[in-house]
A and B are shown apart, each in its own frame.
Chain A
Amino acid sequence: MTETMIVPGTHPQGVTPVLEVENLSVTFPQSGADVRAVRGISYHVNPGEFLGIVGESGSGKSVSSMAVMGLLPSSAKITGSIRFQGQSLLERSDGELSRIRGKGLSMIFQDPLSALTPVYTVGHQIAEGLLLHDKKLSTRAAALRAVELLKIVGIPSPERRAEAFPHEFSGGMRQRAMIAIAIANDPKLIIADEPTTALDVTIQAQILEVMQQAKEMTGAAVVLITHDLGVVAGNADRIAVMYAGKLVETGGVDQVFHEPAMPYTIGLLRSMPSMASTEARLVPLEGRPPSLAALPPGCPFAPRCPIAIDDCRKAEPALVAQPGDPFHSAACIRSAEISDGTLERADVFPRPQPVAAGIPVENAGAEVLSVNELVRHFPLMKGSVFKRQIGVVRAVDGVSFDLGAGQTLGLVGESGCGKSTTIMEVLELTKPQHGGIRVNGIDVAQLSKRDRLKMRKDIQVVFQDPMASIDPRLPIHDVIAEPLTVHGVSRKEQQRKVSQMMELVGLDPEMASRYPHEFSGGQRQRIGIARALVTAPKILVLDEPVSALDVSIQAGVINLLADLQQQLGLSYLFVAHDLAVVHHIADHVAVMYLGRIVELGASDDVFNRPRHPYTQALISAVPIPDPTLERSRRRVLLEGDLPSPTDEIPGCNFRSRCPLYTLLPENLQQRCKDEDPSLRALEGISVACHHAEHDVLISTGTEGQCR
């Protein structure tokens, strides 16, 4: 990269930035072509500033920050300059860098499961960081300080917890421990690489809160790397958007979110399903990022850009300041037209028109799937010499719902709530432990083997991970045709149906002989959908169908699902943890907590006026990709983690975390302790809370609902 880069952003007089990155490039030599993961990026972070770096997988956002930390594998070729507090980092030896890492510069990693060493206690691992940088510190003093740090990050009974091993911590607690390690030596800069991606939404809200506290306490600057625009909207001061190894837009959080000047940013913002809006269709961002090993000349986004012109394909545009705002830069030759309104942002990525309904659903709304008091308990065994049952895991504990023809029921909840177990029980099509499952009015417990096989035609499944749900060794024709092989369909007929299905889901039938690894994640999920549809089912069970996909890919798949439902009159049982997605696609929604449904009703009713305190907390924890909205609302934070499903909790099982419970007078609390609430009708929805009428959480203003 020979082009000169302008360092954009605020440069208060006389203040040295904590971090200055200039023209940084990272290349990984490969046998074929070198992978240019980062291609000449420049940015800086001022003291105490919160910078959000946003990008999809493979955009180079993690690689660039690992380069700052000096933690890339030795095979990586790094050029440019990285200055931390004025001193250059790139030429330093591992020993010299070690004195800076953890002291001035610290990092929080994505996966709290694997980021802590399993064989040392959490307290030891925190104390280790302290001892490395303070030779005079005694081991005992370090251990005491570690306990103190655990307390700061909000871990209950820290003295005891410091002695525990990482596997005895929940995911959220491990991430708190990671933050404790990161702030141990009062660093000047904390880099957080997707710190909440692996966590549930209520835990994510807790962790973001702890990070803000940590930032205030230490006065450190924070660089938050994420793919989730919502996460940075409420926290960051400035945003940098990365695409294909380059910064494509930087600026203040309000500028970037409200007046994006780069089409990629516009598309990304418009493609996200938002809790704040329920447009009929999402705006898809078609195509996929280019391979970093073989970049064509010109703007790397041009192939996906709806407003690309010939000049875009000639030379790669540099990041230049926007007229009228020196702190807002974009790398697009048409950004001036976007800024001055010649090009409407809404027209750059127009919202697609809804497709016409195919056939009217016969007896629309009639029950196609009915689950009644479904129970699935797993025995929990313990004992080393003689196994004995010490309890039951109540994975599914009396779940009832109905799914109407042509409708979508969203099943939401955090991990461990039993939503996946519920659908697996449904898909078995056998007699459950307790309760009943009826498909098209037929009780599955009564089915003969042959009838059950026939029924499998009517109910099909799409799994979460398109990598895992497709056998890598079969060409996709065989993948899609597999359900047909069971029902004795002729080879010729199979081929006809496969190409028909591929057309239907937007894949070229010419590709039927290719193998799964030749397809992108989004395409593979389309293969999964085609396979599910090939038997012309009436019910589709969708197990987190978009959560493994990048944001820009998600919208296309969600639109496809919506279109297919319109055209084919399908009924969806849609399981997801992403409330925004469910809000967008579901007609009805069931919120699950610890194996139970705690709230059930029409999607709009539940999302606009949640009654159960858990639903309220869940909804308020979802970040909204709009800085103004994010700042104005306040959250209902849940205390602690999901209790173990083996615990016997008398009364209401949400009591231990319930924000409403703590606000109730004692006489009302008593009922929560004594009586297990069951679902009851309340103004058109069903809710399992004794005190759902108490709008304390809303009326006292401790929480602002999202619209």
Chain B
Amino acid sequence: MSMVEEAQVLPVKSEVSKRQARPSSRARIIFSKLAHTPRFWVGAVTLAVIVLWSLFGLAGYTYNAVGLDVMAMNTAPTAAHWFGTDQIGADLYAQTIVGLRKSLIIGFVVGPVSALLAGFIGALAGYLGGVWDRIIVWFIDLLLVLPALYILIMLYPLIKGGSWVIVMVYLAVFSWMILARVIRAQTSSLRDRDFVKAARFMGVKTSTIIRRHIIPNVSSLLIIDATLGVGAAILTETTLSYFGFGVQPPDVSLGTLLSSGTGAATTRPWLFVFPAAILVITVLATSLAGDALRDAVDPTSGANRD
């Protein structure tokens, strides 16, 4: 019944081409751009080293995070105690690794989870538009009035005595808002793009449009911000824990370590400097990698215009 078929304008010469399985070429462009960005390599390699180190750094090491070496209290770094010990003889190297593990887990959970939350809420607001959009945006703005740190501090009585997992949950709940606004803006501009209009005029369902056209086109943003969110979550967690509002003893995180090391920062600097340096390097690595990703995804960056 199709006119096209009846017409048989041109004989179909070739067989239906076999669709080769090849990676999305856009992804390939991004990868090749990334490969030429030193910042990405610095960040990614450093991060990988830190993760591996936190996993295997204690293998073969004599001391652990809880045992005390009463023979060596307040020692500066030695061959036995790589990062030294504190006033009761706890090994700082072991404690740092245990703290780092906790901070990394919190970062790697909170970053992606809050990015997902942001993606879901932002895309919803952006695609629905109209009243729903305004309600969601207003709600986001409301959450942005007070610093997240203030809210988290006020929630402290609920954390006290609880597990560090609660800290993680609260962090995720209060760190998606700004990204959600970005995703929303991106989505509503996509909604007006011709290819989305075209799909609508073909009769494609809204849910299919979101799945096929909207999500893949904002996914790069989500990946970037999940990466940057890792570092941001670690920073918030350490700040909270530093002042006693986050991870509670006997759990150890980089924040609690720094907190107990501060008092001796001038007299026994190793207690402060080692955890601080590892914290900064970890967060720096995630932000370098995330920033390089952002540059690679942004089609206008580095373009030489006519």
Contacts and interface: CB of A to CB of B under 8 A. Distances in A.
Interface of A: 28, 30-31, 35, 37, 58, 62-63, 73, 75, 358-359, 427, 452-453, 456, 460-461, 463-465, 468-475, 477, 482-483, 485-486, 495-496, 498-501, 503-504, 508-515, 517-518, 531, 533, 536, 538, 567-569
B109 interface: no
Given A453-B203, A504-B9, A568-B7, A513 B24 contact: no
Nearest to A567: B9
B148 interface: no
Given A471-B213, A512-B17, A359 B201 contact: no
Contacts of A483: 202-203
Contact of B304 (A30, A499, A533): A30
B3 A31 contact: no
B194 A465 contact: yes
B78 interface: no
Contacts of A485: 204, 208
A160 B3 CA distance: 61
29 contacts: A28-B304, A37-B306, A73-B304, A452-B203, A453-B203, A456-B203, A461-B201, A465-B194, A468-B193, A468-B195, A469-B195, A469-B197, A473-B26, A473-B216, A474-B212, A486-B204, A496-B12, A499-B17, A509-B14, A509-B17, A510-B14, A512-B16, A512-B17, A513-B19, A536-B2, A567-B7, A568-B3, A568-B9, A569-B3
Q: Please list the 8 inter-chain residue pairs (A to B) with the smallest Cβ-Cβ separation, ordered nearest first.
A: A469-B194, A536-B2, A456-B203, A483-B202, A468-B194, A358-B7, A463-B194, A471-B195
A552 to B, nearest CB: 18
A359 B195 CA distance: 32
A500 B4 contact: yes
B25 interface: yes
Interface of B: 2-7, 9-10, 12-14, 16-17, 19-20, 22, 24-26, 36, 193-195, 197-199, 201-205, 208, 212-213, 216-217, 304-306
Given A500-B4, A512-B19, A568-B4, A517 B26 contact: yes
A608 B3 CA distance: 35
Nearest to B27: A473
A359 B19 contact: no
A473 B203 contact: no
Contact of B10 (A35, A464, A503, A569): A503
Contacts of B36: 31
A520 to B, nearest CB: 16
A498 B15 CA distance: 12
Contact of B204 (A468, A482, A513, A533): A482
Contacts of B193: 468
B214 to A, nearest CB: 10
Contact of A496 (B3, B16, B25, B195): B16
Given A73-B305, A471-B212, A486-B202, 8 more contacts: A460-B201, A464-B194, A477-B19, A510-B14, A513-B19, A536-B3, A567-B7, A568-B9
B216 A513 contact: no
A568 B9 CA distance: 9
Contacts of B194: 463-465, 468-469
Contacts of B24: 473, 515
A62 B306 CA distance: 7
Nearest to A468: B194
A464 B9 CA distance: 26
Contacts of A73: 304-305
A472 B13 contact: no
Contacts of B213: 471
B79 to A, nearest CB: 47
A518 B25 CA distance: 9
A670 B143 CA distance: 62
Contacts of A465: 194
Given A472-B26, A513-B20, A359 B3 contact: yes
B25 A515 contact: yes
A499 B14 contact: yes
A96 B119 CA distance: 52
Given A456-B201, A472-B26, A483-B202, A536 B4 contact: yes
Contacts of B4: 500-501, 504, 533, 536, 568
Contacts of A470: 195
Contacts of B16: 495-496, 498-499, 509, 512
A567 B208 CA distance: 33
A77 to B, nearest CB: 12
Contacts of A473: 24, 26, 216-217
Contacts of B20: 513
Contact of B202 (A30, A31, A75, A456): A456
Contact of B17 (A30, A359, A510): A510
B22 A503 contact: no
B56 to A, nearest CB: 37
A463 B198 contact: yes
A460 B202 contact: yes
B146 to A, nearest CB: 25
A465 B3 CA distance: 27
Contact of A513 (B22, B26, B201): B22
A473 B212 CA distance: 9
Contacts of B19: 475, 477, 512-513
A511 B193 CA distance: 25
B7 A359 contact: yes
Contacts of A517: 25-26
A468 B194 CA distance: 6
Contacts of A471: 195, 212-213, 216-217
B85 to A, nearest CB: 51
B61 to A, nearest CB: 45
A473 B12 CA distance: 27
Given A469-B195, A496-B16, A536-B4, A504 B10 contact: yes
